[in-house]
């Protein structure tokens, strides 16, 4: 797992348990055992980090949405 992937994983865990506002970049850095600067190098901001998580989530859910859309169920 890359440092970027680890940051994303820990961010998702913390956002889920503490909420976006309740999670600091410092707490993400501590959980991922990286510097806070590395978070900003990869994502520019906490909002950028959330945006990346949402993109990943959307790309993973798209195939499931397509299955439902293409089904013949009423």
Residue 60: predicted pLDDT: 74
Could you tell me the pTM of the whole model?
0.80
Per-residue pLDDT of 11-68, as tens digits, reads 999 999 999 999 999 999 999 999 999 999 999 999 999 999 999 887 776 666 666 6
For the chain, domain boundaries = 3-68
Per-residue pLDDT of 58-68, as tens digits, reads 777 666 666 66
Residue 7 pLDDT > 70, yes or no? yes
3-state helix, strand, coil in the chain (%, to 5): 75, 0, 25
CATH fold of the domain at 3-68: Arc Repressor Mutant, subunit A (1.10.10)
C-beta separation of 7 from 25 below 8 A = no
């Amino acid at each position: 797992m890359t440092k970027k992937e680890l940051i994303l994983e820990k961010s998702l865990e913390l956002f889920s348990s503490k909420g976006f506002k309740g999670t600091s970049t410092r707490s993400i850095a501590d959980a991922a055992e990286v510097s806070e600067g590395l978070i900003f190098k990869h994502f520019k901001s906490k909002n950028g980090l959330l945006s990346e998580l949402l993109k990943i989530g959307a790309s993973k859910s798209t195939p499931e949405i397509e299955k439902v859309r293409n089904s013949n169920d009423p």
